[in-house]
């Protein structure tokens, strides 16, 4: 009976490790920026990276309201927390942030940040052995 329980525990451990390494993962990348006096909301603009591209207000964007502040006092948005970002295919993307005031006026773009988005899981482990000692 003890051998059976040990074997069962080993098989379960192997399965948990296998699932951990083979499930696709979205890296919890985040965008952070300093608070802006008078801002009542923020928009994050994004598009596939193209060398020399200029951001315009017609590009895709997500209104993120006023995100919480992190420990450093910066607003923070996790990319995988927004459906528009989590659905993006792999590649390099440019991101920029604008601030909006209560009247709906929108600021200029922040500096543009290029972010590689990698959703490919690593190869599965090989040479795994279950050994009962």
Over the chain (133 residues), what is each successive 10-residue block's mean pLDDT? Answer: 53 47 52 94 90 82 92 89 81 91 95 81 90 87
Summarised one tens digit per residue, pLDDT across range 79-98 is: 777 888 878 888 888 899 99
Angle among Cα 49, 76, 24 to the nearest 5 degrees reads 60
The pTM of the full predicted model, rounded to 2 decimals, is: 0.66
Q: How far is C-alpha 85 from the geometric centre of its chain's CA atoms? A: 7
Question: What local confidence, expressed as pLDDT, does residue 12 receive?
Answer: 46
Question: What local confidence, expressed as pLDDT, does residue 6 receive?
Answer: 53
Ordered by start, the domain boundaries in the chain are 25-117
CATH architecture of 25-117: Sandwich (2.60)
């Amino acid at each position: 009976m003890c051998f059976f329980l040990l074997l069962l525990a080993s098989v379960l451990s192997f399965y948990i490790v296998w699932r951990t390494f083979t499930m696709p993962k979205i890296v919890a990348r985040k965008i952070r920026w300093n608070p802006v006096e008078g801002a009542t909301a923020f928009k994050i603009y994004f598009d596939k990276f193209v060398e020399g591209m200029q951001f315009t207000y017609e590009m895709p964007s997500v209104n993120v309201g006023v995100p919480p502040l992190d420990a450093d006092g910066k607003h923070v948005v996790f990319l995988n927390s927004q459906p528009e970002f989590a659905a993006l295919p792999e590649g390099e993307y440019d991101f920029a942030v604008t601030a909006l005031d209560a009247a709906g006026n929108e600021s200029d773009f922040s500096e543009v940040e290029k972010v590689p988005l990698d959703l490919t899981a690593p190869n599965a482990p090989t040479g795994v052995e279950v050994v009962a000692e």
